[in-house]
Structure 1
């Protein structure tokens, strides 16, 4: 089962560079995630988080995932947010304002993430 990393079209104002990790096949939410996809999905999250550290020079990362309306799910395809963090940043302190990201900026950021996640000469960057 395959997964993908997508640059989010919205970033937290104080935390630029949010990524979304998604299964390629449709999975509505965590409750119906096939066991066979759990490992690959988390492995992709790990690779995306390491790429964020390399590209954004962040001090940490966070994963977020929401299920059903009461859980604040608003996109009906399972996805995990991989968010860059810095010590004392506003997101951890409860500041949750999103801003739209220009498509050109998404493409530029994606190029850096893609490079950081690529295997070079058959060798994993990690």
Structure 2
């Protein structure tokens, strides 16, 4: 699949918006990810990289067409673990847990999509922007 620069740019911008310092990652670091998981006509609205204390790392990606949770294991590529249509999203929540916290996206009729995050501020901002999207805004 060829990847439009707009789709990749929207992913990089969403990742930068969820960064503690507001720094967008280099596009080249996410090009392969975008080519594998994003469609040319998709726009990434929100993204939250997991900063969990487990041996795997997840990422939540909200596009204008779907909500996805991907996971990467050591020495393995990213894999799509769960996805849902935006209309199935009921909301999200952040729950502090020990030194990190868990962001859960509630989905009608399915298990929640979740990621562990070490940053409470970033996680709460992600949840707030997702609620804005669910209630008709654009985050």
TM-score (normalizing by structure 1): 0.30
TM-score (normalizing by structure 2): 0.28
Q: Greater strand percent: which structure? A: 2
Choose 1 or 2 for highest CA Rg: 1
